[in-house]
Each structure stands twice: as structure tokens, then as C-alpha cells.
Structure 1
Amino acid sequence: MNLKQNIRKTSITLTNTQTSKAVKEDRGRLLIKRIFSTGFISLALIGVIYFTLPFTILSFGSLLEYSTLVSLFIFLIVLLFRYFSILVMAYLYINNYTFNRKEGFYPFVSIIVPVYNEGKVITASVQSLLNLDYSNYEIIVVNDGSTDDTYEVAKQMVGYKKGKFGDVKVSVINKPNGGKAKALNAGISFSKAEVVLCMDGDSQLSEDCIRAAVRHFVDPSIGAVAGNVKVQNRRKFFTDLQALEYIEGLNMARAAQSFMRLVNIIPGPVGLFRRKAIEDAGYYSSDTFAEDADLTLKILAHGWRIFYEPRAISYTEAPEKLHQLLKQRYRWTRGILQAIRKHKKLLVNPTINFGDTFVLWTMVYEALIWPTMNIFSNLFFIFAAVFYGFSTLIFFWWAGLALLDMSTA
């Protein structure tokens, strides 16, 4: 395919193959099912106590105090259950983790890089991808209707460029602006590789990212591999806190989920997909703010399993200002809730695979229940400190949460 054909590639027909894949469950996953079933039954019993015992209390004031304390107690139980589950499953995953390179298994990989107004950094981004510790890959840059000189700069890199182990083909697709999901779909459809790596235009991959991740595709049940996202701009205390959150709140959680091979969100900065899994899922959709979460749920719903690879690292830029962080988290939360609503049948349908149901309920908890209870508990302790002088409650509560975060990280 010549350069002219590459540049004019703007209209791509996507397929939506509906194929289901049966996956065998190992004994470890059955054990985890029993553990979580026991946990949910315990929480249900706590709920019964909470809703029945107040009827024995006649005083409204006592009832209010009782309800508040029981609510906090339930939140504490759920909190401990969450951290305990993450620690146990992450430990089991890491304890069983071995980095054995599969000699002779080097599938062809297409790196899809969607860009929009990245004219100043696109050259450096592509150059960093040429230094990867892998010999069988190509780079496909998708210009999503940039209004600056991104396309003109990217065109200069088209062709075979010198990589670490030989020449690497660099292609550029120019298309009208349509958003990240459509840009990624254009790159995936243009590619003919068995494995595609999707990333953000402003992210940088570690040298052994591909080599570490592709080995998991030896297992035919693995449809995708989630990478390890780290904060690159750790220049301020504000971004240092976000780096800690990425370790505990994102990567540690993915390690725990990977024990069951049920990672619930493949991060946008680095995710590798088997082509068949993407075709089964119907590619990326642009009807949510979290196209990565939506695609992950569709892949799981088609019977594929998703693994987490800690050595497949992508360095990303974290927001350095509070309003930027709030805007980012609003977009994340809204997108996840949209994905949950889109796949709500997985929440209540008893015929659906247990793992898929568990993954979706976990997302509901992390996106909705957890933040709501955090706000409620903090407001309660502030109220207690102001009106009852229990200021030490705030200290011990926040100190306890900090210790849980640090121990998990």
C-alpha cells in the first residue's frame, strides 16, 4: 500500500461479529466466588439488622443517632472488606506472577496512536516508539482532524524508520475530527496485525512494554492485556498524591482483578488487544465518555479474559491544577456510569457469567457507592467535631484511611 493510499484512508467499515467463547474456570476462581458470596451474605445480614432493629427504638433522637452509627459501621465493614479483598487477591496474583518470556512467540503488533493538535510533540512521541525492545511491530498515527500542523509533521515520518532491531513501518491516517473512539477504530481497521496496542497520543511506553504484554496471548482465552499506568510529571506534591492513587486505586486493583483474569477497565494510555476480541466486541463505541471501560465490558461479555501486566508501563501526564483534576474525574465517573447503564443487564441477569456480574457491581461500588459514603462519613465527623467536640474522630478516621492506602500501596 503506497503513501497516497495511506493518507487518504478516511472511510472504514466496521464489523460487529457476535461470537461467544467458553472459558474454563479454575479452582482458584471458584474459591474466590465462595469468598465473595460469603462476604455479600454477611453484608446482607448487616442490612437486615440495620432495617429491623430501629423499630425497637421510640426516641427520634436515638433513632437518628443509631441510624448514623449503623450506617458508618456498615461503611467500615465494606471498607475493610474492600481493602482485604484487594490485598489478598493482589498478593495471590503477585505471588504467582512469573516473568517468563515466550521464546519464539513474537506476534506482529500494530501500535495505534490517536493524535489531535499534537504537532509540537508528535515527532518525539514517534521517535520514542522506535526505541521499543521488540522486533515485530508497526506504528500507525491517526490524525483526528487536527487544526494545527500535526498532519504535516506526521507525514514527514511516513515510511520505514530505523528501530532498535531493524526498520519499523510508520503510517499516517488523516481523518475528519470524530473523537478518540473513531480514531482508534480507524487505526485498528487499517491494521492487519493479530495484536493491536492502543495508547494516548501524549503517553510514553516503557522499552519492554510490548515484549512483557504479548506473552500472555499464548493463552487463547486472553482477549486483552491491561498495562501499568504511571504518573510522569511528579514535580509537585499534588501530582505525587495522584501517583500514589494510581498505585493503590488503579494498578493494585487491577492486580487483584487479574487474579481472576477479570480486569474491569483497560486503561486508555496502554492496552493490548487480540484482534478477534475487538471484532467480537464490535470495536470502540463513541456513545460514552469512557470508551475504554465500555470496550472492556463488551470483551468480558463475549467470554474473553483480561490480564494485567505490571511491566507493560505507560507514563502519562497527570493534572497539575485542581480544576483540571475535577474535570478529569467528572469525565471518568460520568463515562463509567454511562458504561454501567449501557450494560445494566449484567447487573441483574442470573444467567450471565458470575465474573461479568461481579465486575459490573464492582464498578458501581467504586464509581457511585464509595464516593457517596466517603462524603457522608466526612460530613458526619465534621458535624461531630463542631457540635460535640469530637475532633479526634476526624483525625483517627482520616489517619486510618491513610494507613489503609499506604499498606495497600
Structure 2
Amino acid sequence: MDCAIAIMAYNEEMNIGRVLDALLSQDLETVHISQIVVVASGCTDRTEEIVLEYARQHPHICLIHQDRREGKAAAINLCKRHLMSHEIIVCHSADVIPTPRAIEHLVRPFEDPEMGMTGARPVPTNAPDTFMGYAAHLLWWLHHHLSLHRPKMGEVIAFRNVFRQIPRDSAVDEASIEPLIIGQGLNLRYVPEAVVYNHGPETLHDMIKQRRRIYAGHLYVKDKMGYAVSTMKLTRIVPLFLRQIIRRNKESADAVHPDIPLWRHLMWGPAVGALEAWCRILGIWDYTIWKQKPFIWAVADTTKDPASAGKAGV
């Protein structure tokens, strides 16, 4: 099964080579990557130069240049126009590293003609013995368990090319694609075997900046597209955290992280919950009061080290 990979990049000179290396070395059986397209949006570093070096060695890699940064949604729409002939498109963040079988697991479900969209499982590389690292692991663990029951896509997705474009002013591209796929009568599937590594914020400032922007984006999707992602309801999230405390088992694959002791869950877990609630309040303020749609957002610099999986014991 053929697929094309779309990578949206803004000043990703530290990561883009790692991402391309990981994609070029994928262990594939039934899936074939026919093209890799990198959209470089207003880059002022060596991102474009690095991509062109890879393109000279690998003809199926190509670069699309944008003079100025117009937001990830605009970059996705531009890339979709370039990939009109491809039935399956993998939308890949430029600061996420896929494991060797991730693309195979992500694309194989499209053998079912009713499959419209699949999502990978992001695993943070942050060290779990710091508060910010714990927060990253807890939030993505909750995301994982919610997605097992009601798919919530993030970081790396694949979709059937059945819609024209996503709203240019959306700050949450994956959440904007979900209702477009469902509206075509197609299915969503979360694929936990398709593991990809990302890196959560390492500072409180970056976390608040990221989480409030995401929640404001989810409010936009609910308001404009009539679709609520599965993580919007806290009533789904709190029971999952309590289950982790009650059924905690260091040897269990179900644990947030095997190296996190119980006291951290008891002390840091409620603090992460309070912080997330505050970020959501700020997101509500941004969207409803300030009328902000941060589709061109300030980069959270401390999230740009996904290749540190070994350092974090992942």
C-alpha cells in the first residue's frame, strides 16, 4: 500500500535530519513510502538546506518553500495540493521521531476501505523524575488510555485523502481533520503499536503556552465544526488517573512510567491536574474573550529534543 508523508517544519534544523533518517529506515512490509514532502514555512535556519541535501540523495524527498510562516494548517493544505494523486497521506510533525515500525502500523489499517484516519501513540522522552517530565508522561498516558476507547489523534496521523482542506485558522490540525473524516462516513482508529517519540515542555512557561493554545484550538473546533475531541471532558480524565493510583504496578505495561514512585503520583498528580485546569481557563479566556485563534503560535523551545529517548529511559 502506497502512502506519502507530509512534514511541516519551521526552523527545525536540529530535528529534521533525525526525522528523515528515521523515515528512510522504516521497517516496511505491506506499506511503501512513495514520497516525502517537507513544507518549510518561513524558515530562517538551515532546515531547507538540510532537506535539499537529503533530496539530492533520495529523489522521493522534496522541499516546498513558503516565504513566510502562515501556520501549520496552511502548510498542510499546501502539501495536500501537492499530493492530490496520493490516496493515503501521513501527516508527521517535524519534532517527532517514529519508531522503526511506526509507519507500517499506522498505514496498514487502510487496507480496510472504510478506514479514514489513524493516529500514532506519542511517548515522551522527558526524564520522569522532574515535575515537568512527570507532567509530560502523565498527560500522554491519559491521552493513550482515552484514545483506546475513543480515538484522539495527535503528533503523527494518517488519513485518506477525501477532503479538500482544513480551516486555515485552526491551531489543532489533527482535531480539525477528525470531523472531516467522520463526515465522509469513514472510521477513526488509534494505533497504539505505532509509537513515536516526542518531547514535552521542560519549563512551566512553555507548558502553559502550549496547553492553553491547544485548548483554545479545541474550543475553535467545537464552535466552528461542531466536534468535541475526547479529551475535552474532565469527567473522562479523572477516573483514569485514580485508576493509576489504585491499581499501580511498577511491572505493568499499563503504568504511566515504571520509574515513577507512588508519592509522585500522590503529590504531583493533583498539581498537574490543577495546572491543566488553569491552562484550560486561560484557553477559554483566549478564545472567548480575546477572540484569539493562535494558528501561528510561539514555539515552545524546550519541546525540541525528541531524540533523547535513551536519556529518559524510554
Shared fold, TM over 0.5: yes
Distance 1:273 1:175, change over 3 A: same
**Aligned partner of 1:144: which letter?**
S
**Is 2:233 the partner of 1:365?**
yes
1:330 and 1:341 mapped to 2: Cα distance?
A: 16
Task: Decide whether the 8 Å contact of 2:22 with 2:99 is kept in 1.
Answer: no
Q: For residue 212 of structure 1, what is the aligned residue in structure 2?
A: 105
CA distance in 2, matches of 1:153, 1:196: 23
Structure 1 counterpart of 2:202, from 309, 313, 320: 320
Q: Is the 8 A contact 1:222 1:306 kept in 2?
A: yes
Q: For residue 303 of structure 1, what is the aligned residue in structure 2?
A: 185
What is the one-letter code of the residue matched to 2:193? R
1:271 to 139, 147, 157: 157
SS at match of 1:171: strand
Relative distance call for 1:133 and 1:321 in structure 2 (3 A) is: same
The answer to whether the 8 Å contact 2:39/2:63 transfers is yes
State the match for 1:69 in structure 2.
none
Structure 2 SS opposite 1:199: strand
Please point out which of 96, 101, 115 is paired with 1:203: 96
- The amino acid of 2:64's aligned partner reads I
Alignment equivalent of 1:129, drawn from 23, 34, 39: 23
Task: Report % sequence identity.
Answer: 24
RMSD: 2.6
Matched, 1:403 2:245: yes
1:211 match: secondary structure: helix
Counterparts of 1:334 and 1:213, CA distance in 2: 28
Letter in 1 for 2:73: A
Aligned equivalent of 2:76, options 184, 198, 202: 184
Amino acid at match of 2:224: K
What is the deviation of 1:152?
Answer: 2.3
Residue of structure 1 equivalent to 2:309: none
Q: 2:220 aligns with which of 332, 338, 341?
A: 338
- Note closer, same or farther for the CA distance 1:141–1:405 as it changes in structure 2 (3 Å cut): farther
Residue among 224, 228, 234 paired with 2:127: 234
Does residue 142 (structure 1) correspond to residue 39 (structure 2)? The answer is yes
Asked if 1:175 is matched to 2:66, the reply is yes
1:118 equivalent to 2:9? Answer no
Q: Residue 126 of structure 1 aligns to which amino acid in structure 2?
A: L
Q: Does 1 or 2 have the higher relative contact order (CA < 8 Å, sep 6+)?
A: 2
Q: Deviations over 1:81-118 (max 9, x none)?
A: xxxxxxxxxxxxxxxxxxxxxxxxxx111111111111
- Equivalenced residue count is 244
User: Aligned pair 1:255/2:142, yes or no?
Assistant: no
Report the CA distance between 1:140 and its aligned residue. Answer: 1.1
Q: 3-state SS of the aligned residue for 2:60?
A: strand
Secondary structure in structure 2 of the residue aligned to 1:332 = helix
Query: Displacement of 1:209 after TM fit?
Result: 0.9
SS in 2 for 1:157: helix
Larger Cα-atom Rg: 1
Amino acid at match of 1:114: M
Distance 2:122 2:96 in 1: 9
For 2:223 and 2:170, locate their aligned partners in 1 and report how far apart those are by CA, in whole Å: 10
- Counterparts of 1:361 and 1:293, CA distance in 2: 7
Matched residue SS, 2:43: coil
Q: In the superposition, relative to structure 1, how do residues 207 and 243 fare at CA in structure 2: closer, same or farther (>3 Å)?
A: same
Taking a change above 3 Å as real, the CA distance of residues 220 and 141 of structure 1, as seen in their structure-2 partners, is same
Runs of 5+ consecutive residues of structure 1 not aligned to the other structure? 1-106, 162-167, 258-262, 347-359, 375-396
Runs of 5+ in structure 2 lacking a partner?
Answer: 256-314
